Amino acid sequence: MLAGRGRGVIDVGIVGGTGYTAAELVRLLAGHPGVRLRVVTARAEAGTAVAEVFPHLRGRVDLVFSPPTPEVLAECRVVFFATPNGTAMTLVPALLESGVRVVDLSADFRLRDPAAFERWYGMPHPCPDLLPLAVYGLPEQNREAIREARLIANPGCYPTAVLLGLIPLVESGSVRADGLIADCKSGVSGAGRKAALGSLMAEASDSLRAYGVPGHRHLPEIVQALQEHAAGRIELVFVPHLAPMIRGIHATLYAEMIDAATDLQGLCAERYRGEPFVDVMPPGAHPETRSVRGSNVCRIAVHRVGGGRRVVVLSVIDNLVKGAAGQAIQNMNLMLGLEETLGLTQIALLP
- Residues known to be catalytic: 157
CA neighbor of 316 nearest in space, from 276, 345, 287, 283: 287
CA neighbor of 91 nearest in space, from 111, 77, 71: 71
How far out from the chain centre does Cα 285 lie? Answer: 24
Cα(94)–Cα(226) distance, integer angstroms: 31
Neighbours of 327 (CB within 10 A): 27
Q: Is the peptide bond before 128 cis (omega within 30 degrees of 0)?
A: no
- The amino acid sitting at 298 is C
Task: Say if residues 22 and 68 touch (Cβ distance below 8 Å).
Answer: no
- Residues in the chain, overall count: 351
What are the CA-CA distances from residue 179 to residues 164, 213, 236 (Å)?
Answer: 17, 17, 7
Task: Say if residues 316 and 249 touch (Cβ distance below 8 Å).
Answer: yes
Strand 135-136 to 151-153 pairing: parallel
